[in-house]
Amino acid sequence: MNIYLDIDGVLLDKHGILADHAEEFLEFMIDNHEVFWLTTHCHGGECDAIEHISVKNKISPKLHNLLRKVKMTDWATLKTDAIDFSKDFSWIDDYVMSAEKGVLMEKNALMRLHEVSLNGNPDLLANMMTIDYTRGSIKDECEQEVGLSISFSAEEFELIKKGFHSDQGMDERWRFAFHGDTLYIMRHWTGWVNYKLRFKERDGRYFVYESYRANLIEKKNDKITAFEKNWHGAFIIFLIERYLFNNNRDFLFDSQLVYGHLAIPIDSIHGYDHWKNVEIIGHYIAEKNGADKEIISAFAFLHDIGRTREFEELNHGEKSAELIKKSFQLNLDNEQLSKLLIAVANHDKSDAKSDDITIQTCWDADRLDLPRVYIFPDKDLLYTQDGKSEETFKHFNIGK
């Protein structure tokens, strides 16, 4: 594989000092790959890479010999001009221009960019030696049409375009980029799974009209299943929400919740929109009565996990509670977990009883979302005074 390597910010820090592990890193790369400079210090037919590195560093004979083995490239305006796209490659750089990322996107090669920085990361090169650079190579790449039913309002879509206007990410694992009408979502460095979503506007909403998944670990040519489609749809929504709105739903995917357990569609009346509404309503009430928001959030996204059909399903609350106990590692203490399990197990029972304000708030939040199925909530079946209040009904436009 070809490795294209920058210098400043990768091998040298902002003061020009050679990074820790630089010698081992170069030896590892040269022993396993064809390594090329892709830097302004090899540009326009001239290369002073070794001289630039030597300005503030004492170069050992071994390191000097390794640096000489790195091959020169030549490019004019964009570094991508020097990349041979007919061969497998990875590009390691601390800063890549948007025009260069555009070229990578057009070549379906953005996942081969490792945009890194020594700033605040002194062990960068040691970490870079742990990556399997052959993963996601051209010969192994496999795109599948996913066919996701995902849409966003015009306001949400503008946030997505603004938030993902260039290569950005929530942490070291995920990177996002918006280019043209397409959103790229990448598992950075590992090539675990990548998504490419194309959007189209219809009646004021923006729909995904093409969606592809590139699974770069194993080649898989069979048709994607309904369960997989459901899981990918939920996963993408949660990734976008986590980055744009800081809504952390990691606990849902630690156990691969949707893929492993959710039997109803993500866009159903007991799917994502309902979960989100329950959380919003529950947090609104909690602001007034002091209920535990962490429990409410976990309840909102897990209370229907045991459902296997949309309507009339007895004891799906108890099934959901059993799944939570069996499959999920939640960031809750024992008392919080006990309250969550009680709330989930009994949320589908009209005669459920509890004196705990958090459990009561969970139940009210669920029932106050009944207007989505054209049912007006019965105040006699609500538990909290704030849930029953005219102010709450007015705030969420709940009326006959």
Calpha distance 322→305 (Å, rounded): 10
pLDDT > 80? residue 84: yes
Give the closest residue to 200 by CA, choosing from 180, 224, 172, 216.
180
- Residue 115: the pLDDT is 79
Q: Domain map of the chain by residue range? A: 2-128, 143-248, 272-395
Residue 45, phi-psi category: left (phi > 0), alpha (psi -120 to 50), beta (remainder): left
Widest CA span of the chain, in angstroms? 83
Give the closest residue to 359 by CA, choosing from 285, 307, 308.
285
Average pLDDT over residues 203-225: 70
How many C-beta atoms surround the C-beta of residue 97 within 10 A?
14
pLDDT digits (tens, 9 = 90+) for 329-362: 788 899 999 999 999 999 988 889 999 999 999 9
Average pLDDT over residues 279-300: 94
Average pLDDT over residues 23-31: 96
Average pLDDT over residues 29-36: 96
How many C-beta atoms surround the C-beta of residue 62 within 10 A?
11
Buried b (16+ CB within 10 A) or exposed e, 293-319: eebbbbbbbbbbbbbeeeeebeebbbb
Contact at 8 Å (CB) between 299 and 282? yes
How many C-beta atoms surround the C-beta of residue 268 within 10 A?
16
Calpha distance 206→150 (Å, rounded): 8
- Residue 222: the pLDDT is 58
- Residue 138: the pLDDT is 47
Q: Among the listed ranges 213-217, 243-247, 313-317, which one has the minimum average pLDDT value?
A: 213-217
- Residue 140: the pLDDT is 44
Residue 152, phi-psi category: left (phi > 0), alpha (psi -120 to 50), beta (remainder): beta
Contact at 8 Å (CB) between 360 and 354? yes
Which amino acid would we find at residue 125?
L
How many C-beta atoms surround the C-beta of residue 41 within 10 A?
16
Give the closest residue to 7 by CA, choosing from 46, 36, 45.
36
Calpha distance 49→324 (Å, rounded): 56
- Residue 400: the pLDDT is 57
Q: What is the CATH number assigned to the segment(s) 2-128?
A: 3.40.50
- Residue 45: the pLDDT is 82
Contact at 8 Å (CB) between 358 and 285? no
Q: How many helices (H) and strands (E) does the chain have?
A: 16, 12
- Residue 128: the pLDDT is 86
Contact at 8 Å (CB) between 320 and 362? no
The listed CATH number (1.10.260.40, 1.10.3210.10, 3.20.20.100, 3.40.640.10) that belongs to domain 272-395: 1.10.3210.10
Say which residues have a Cβ less than 8 Å from residue 4's Cβ, sequence separation at least 6.
36, 37, 38, 73, 79, 82, 83, 89, 90, 91, 92, 93
Q: What's the chain's average pLDDT?
A: 83
- Residue 251: the pLDDT is 64
pLDDT > 70? residue 161: yes
Give the closest residue to 351 by CA, choosing from 306, 327, 317, 323.
317
Q: Among the listed ranges 165-169, 196-200, 246-250, which one has the minimum average pLDDT value?
A: 165-169
